Structure 1
Amino acid sequence: MDDRTFRNAMGCFATGVTVIATEVDGEAHGMTANAFMSQSLNPKLVVISLKEDTNMLKRIKESGHFSVNVLSEDQKDLSMIFAGQIKTEEKISFDSLDGKPVLSGALAQVACNVKSEYVEGDHTLVVGQVSAVKLEDGEPLIFSKGQYRTLEKPVPMKN
């Protein structure tokens, strides 16, 4: 199969949208990613998958920590900025959670310390030990078949 067919097949799986962030030399850096999953409850671990040639992977290796910011449905512009799809001169401000940079308004902010790394294919799987979590109300931003989407509001069930 060709690469496009494979990508199209993988795009059928709807995912949430995250911004992975880290800080190096006092400067916060972020990157949009949807390759994120919960890995373990005890200990609390998550996994992110980053392409080998990304600056974010180099920065996380240097800092030894990262955050995962699960974006809300009203944070599409932030996703596009950190994906390089929208250019802006405006400096994006980060808050801090357990010393890691996080985005205000994200549905979930997950602060992590790097526990281990595994190179598989052209990506590195980075396992993070969760050190802190902050939650907000709202609905998630979804990505599927190359487009941003939102969840339909729940309809109350009739008894």
Structure 2
Amino acid sequence: MALLNTALPMRGVDMPESVPDQPRFTPRQFRDAMGQFATGVVVITADAAGDVHAMTANAFMSGSLEPALVLVSVARTARMHEKIQETGHFGVSVLAQHQRHTSNHFAGKPTGDSQPEFERLHDVPVIADAVMQLAAQLRHIYPCGDHTLFVGEVFDLKLLDEDGPEPLLFHRGRYGKLTHLE
């Protein structure tokens, strides 16, 4: 599989003249600042030779409608990093509010009371009963500091019905729920 890296250098961008050599904040302060952005919670999955690997993430977004592309950001030190490259595909499951235990399990905080359940979407593992499930073929890999951005082309997806559960949210290091404003 040939992966295309199409990152372009920045051109014609004027940088401020007095950019500091070092950031004026700590990594923890940056993490806390990024926690101000409320996100959904997803589980990224990959099947490496019959061994399903999964990790909780909130760095997920759509990249394009045509073709249907999604991006996930994975730490270079995470086991999922090599699994996505090894398999060439991945699944993404948007968790429902009742799936906090699944989020915790794949964030390295398992509880012994319940094991998350997988199902298959076009032979890609996904989390059962998730609000949304998709299967993507890896198309691009972009280094991004201590993470890597994986771009996948979606080839299958499944949505729960509109009257199904609401998605699980994450904000300031805690789970939350969606409230619709009129």
TM over 0.5: yes
- Residue in structure 2 matching 1:139, options 166, 170, 180: 166
Question: Greater strand percent: which structure?
Answer: 1
Structure 1 vs Structure 2 CA RMSD: 1.5
Deviation of residue 92 (structure 1)?
3.5
Counterpart amino acid of residue 175 in structure 2: Y
SS in 2 for 1:30: strand
Q: Does 1:149 align with 2:149?
A: no
Counterpart amino acid of residue 165 in structure 2: G
Counterpart amino acid of residue 141 in structure 2: E
Ranges of 4+ aligned residues in structure 1 off by more than 6 Å: none
Q: What is aligned with 2:35?
A: 11
Larger Rg: 2
Instruction: Return the TM-score normalized by structure 2.
Output: 0.81
Post-superposition Cα deviations, 1:68-87, rounded to whole Å, max 9, x if no partner, equal: 10000000000000001124
**Percent identity at matched positions?**
44
Whether the 8 Å CA contact 1:46–1:129 is kept in 2: the answer is yes
For residues 38 and 113 of structure 2, the distance between their equivalents in structure 1, rounded to whole angstroms, comes to: 31
Whether the 8 Å CA contact 2:53–2:80 is kept in 1: the answer is yes
SS in 2 for 1:74: helix
Structure 1 runs not aligned, ≥5 long: none
Instruction: Return the TM-score normalized by structure 1.
Output: 0.92
Q: What is aligned with 1:59?
A: 83
For residues 87 and 98 of structure 1, the distance between their equivalents in structure 2, rounded to whole angstroms, comes to: 29
What pairs with 1:1-159 in structure 2 (closer than 5 Å)?
A: 1-88=25-112, 91-136=115-160, 137-152=164-179, 154=180
Whether the 8 Å CA contact 1:50–1:125 is kept in 2: the answer is yes
Whether the 8 Å CA contact 1:95–1:101 is kept in 2: the answer is yes
Deviation of residue 90 (structure 1)?
5.9
Whether the 8 Å CA contact 2:101–2:111 is kept in 1: the answer is no
Counterpart amino acid of residue 173 in structure 2: G
For residues 112 and 83 of structure 1, the distance between their equivalents in structure 2, rounded to whole angstroms, comes to: 22
SS in 2 for 1:4: helix
- Alignment length (residue pairs): 155
